[in-house]
């Protein structure tokens, strides 16, 4: 999830100290510095209401998701109540910038909506009418989460070769219709294995062009080890691991450090990138344990272990699960030998390493997917924001 736009004007940024956390106010054409962002899953609002959001620790909140039907923006049945709650939250916490995230994994309709000048204009107008007229006061901008233009997304979703150019044109149309004072961002992928096999984000997106239009890009430096992988592996390794059997050139770029370098090589400056970190785990049931405690083994099926809060509470204390740390990937994993279950996850140590890297690499902040996966003390949120907070 990510976005890019006009150059930042530091003189226009008003720095605020909110509950001990350094935040920044946006202006018409400048992104906040630093960006401490969170995706909020609207479908989970009954269990994790808007009122529970730790707004004092955030600068940007991305509401997931609006989707597309018949070329227009639509929202879920429970969204209006959430939007009203967001408007109240913004009044209480005026430093917080909220964006409606459009799309997400499995969301179709983008290729058709972006196909022609007329379809782009009609689609964007429907989004503006809904989120900035009907629900005025709830949002400060739009986050485009098209997964994926051209190829790589779910097989049932329409895609076209011209999607790559049309994604840029759609972003420009959002910029035009939203006008000054509103944010346009996007969420862009890095994982090198998708539904169609080997994947290159530069074949889906005009990365350098998007960087000129969007305020900043949420670079999804996670989902590098999923059910599309051939072996049990890390969700978000920091560096390339020599033992990883993933073929080249995918392996070279399928890690956090190299993914950011790849975006820079394709015209996205660090000042337009926000580093993504996962607050959830990825699990694999391996066929044989091998000699690496479940790591890099063939597997029969993947499983969903939940977020950090669940892993910390239920699995870390369980002696059936042994804890490991990889010195190159700089990531933890768990292995349950009796059930042959391998689990890649993040903890405060690994998240802190990623955040320190983002700061050193000149990125403007960090974001996560997603907020409710943290523990009750917000330990992962604290770790990801630490280097950017005074």
Q: How far apart are the first and last CA of the chain?
A: 26
Fold of 10-279+346-388: TIM Barrel (3.20.20)
**How far, in Å, CA of 211 to CA of 286, rounded?**
40
Q: pLDDT at position 26, please?
A: 35
Residue 287 exposed, middle or buried by CB count within 10 Å (0-12, 13-18, 19+): middle
**How far, in Å, CA of 308 to CA of 56, rounded?**
21
What tokens does 233 get?
Answer: 């592996």
Kindly report whether the global pTM for this prediction surpasses the value 0.85: yes
Q: pLDDT at position 390, please?
A: 77
Ranges of CATH 3.10.50 domains, the chain: 285-342
Q: pLDDT at position 4, please?
A: 29
Report CA-CA distances (Å) from 379 to 329, 358, 371. Answer: 21, 18, 11
Q: Is the per-residue pLDDT at 166 higher than 90?
A: yes
- pLDDT per residue over 129-139, tens digit each? 999 999 999 99
- pLDDT per residue over 55-82, tens digit each? 999 999 999 999 999 999 999 999 999 9
Q: pLDDT at position 327, please?
A: 98
Q: pLDDT at position 23, please?
A: 31
Q: pLDDT at position 235, please?
A: 98
- pLDDT per residue over 207-257, tens digit each? 999 999 999 999 999 999 999 999 999 999 999 999 999 999 999 999 999
CATH of domain 285-342: 3.10.50
* Rg, Å, the chain Cα set: 20
Mean pLDDT across 340-344: 98
Q: Is the dihedral of CA 248, 254, 260, 264 positive or negative?
A: positive
Mean pLDDT across 365-369: 98
Q: Is the per-residue pLDDT at 197 higher than 60?
A: yes
Find out whether 268 and 214 touch, Cβ atoms under 8 Å: no
Q: Is the per-residue pLDDT at 7 higher than 70?
A: no
3-class SS at 281?
A: coil
Report CA-CA distances (Å) from 81 to 73, 78, 138, 275, 369. Answer: 17, 6, 11, 30, 22
Find out whether 229 and 296 touch, Cβ atoms under 8 Å: no
**Mean pLDDT score across all residues of the chain:** 92
Residue 101 exposed, middle or buried by CB count within 10 Å (0-12, 13-18, 19+): buried
Q: pLDDT at position 25, please?
A: 32
- Please enumerate in sequence order all residues whose Cβ is within 8 A of that of 47, keeping only pairs 6 or more positions apart, or say none: 372
* Angle at alpha carbon of residue 249, lines to 247 and 253, rounded to 5°: 105
- Confidence class for position 29, pLDDT limits 50, 70, 90: very low
Ranges of CATH 3.20.20.80 domains, the chain: 10-279+346-388
């Amino acid at each position: 999830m990510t976005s890019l736009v006009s150059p930042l004007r530091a003189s226009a940024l008003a720095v605020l100290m909110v509950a001990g956390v350094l935040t920044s106010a946006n202006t018409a054409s400048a992104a906040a510095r630093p960006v401490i962002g969170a995706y909020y899953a609207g479908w989970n609002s009954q269990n994790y209401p808007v009122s529970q959001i730790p707004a004092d620790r955030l600068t940007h909140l991305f509401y997931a998701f609006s989707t597309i039907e018949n070329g227009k923006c639509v929202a879920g049945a429970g969204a209006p109540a959430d939007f009203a709650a967001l408007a109240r939250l913004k009044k209480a916490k005026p430093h917080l910038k909220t964006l409606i995230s459009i799309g997400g994994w499995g969301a179709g309709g983008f290729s058709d909506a972006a196909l022609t000048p007329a379809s782009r204009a009609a689609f964007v107008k429907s989004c503006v009418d809904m989120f900035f007229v009907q629900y005025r006061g709830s949002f400060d901008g739009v986050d485009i989460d098209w997964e994926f233009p051209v190829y790589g997304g779910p097989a049932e979703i329409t895609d076209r070769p011209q999607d790559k150019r049309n994604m840029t044109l759609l972003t420009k149309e959002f910029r035009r219709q939203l006008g000054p004072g509103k944010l346009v961002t996007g969420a862009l992928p890095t994982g090198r294995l998708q539904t169609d096999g080997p994947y290159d984000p530069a074949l889906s997106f005009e990365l350098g062009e998007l960087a000129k239009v969007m305020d900043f890009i949420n670079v999804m430096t996670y989902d590098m080890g999923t059910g599309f992988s051939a072996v049990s592996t890390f969700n978000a390794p920091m560096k390339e691991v020599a033992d990883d059997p993933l073929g080249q050139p995918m392996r070279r770029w399928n890690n956090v450090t190299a993914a950011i370098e790849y975006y820079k090589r394709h015209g996205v400056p660090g000042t337009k990138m926000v580093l993504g970190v996962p607050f959830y785990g990825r699990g694999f049931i391996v066929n044989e344990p091998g000699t690496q405690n479940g790591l890099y083994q063939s597997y029969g099926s993947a499983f969903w272990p939940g977020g950090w809060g669940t892993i910390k509470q239920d699995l870390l204390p369980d002696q059936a699960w042994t804890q490991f740390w990889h010195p190159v990937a700089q990531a933890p994993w768990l292995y349950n030998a009796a059930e042959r279950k391998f689990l890649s996850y993040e903890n405060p140590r690994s998240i802190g390493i990623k955040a320190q890297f983002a700061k050193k690499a000149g990125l403007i902040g960090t974001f996560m997917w997603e907020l409710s996966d943290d523990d009750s003390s917000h330990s992962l949120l604290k770790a990801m924001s630490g280097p950017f907070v005074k």
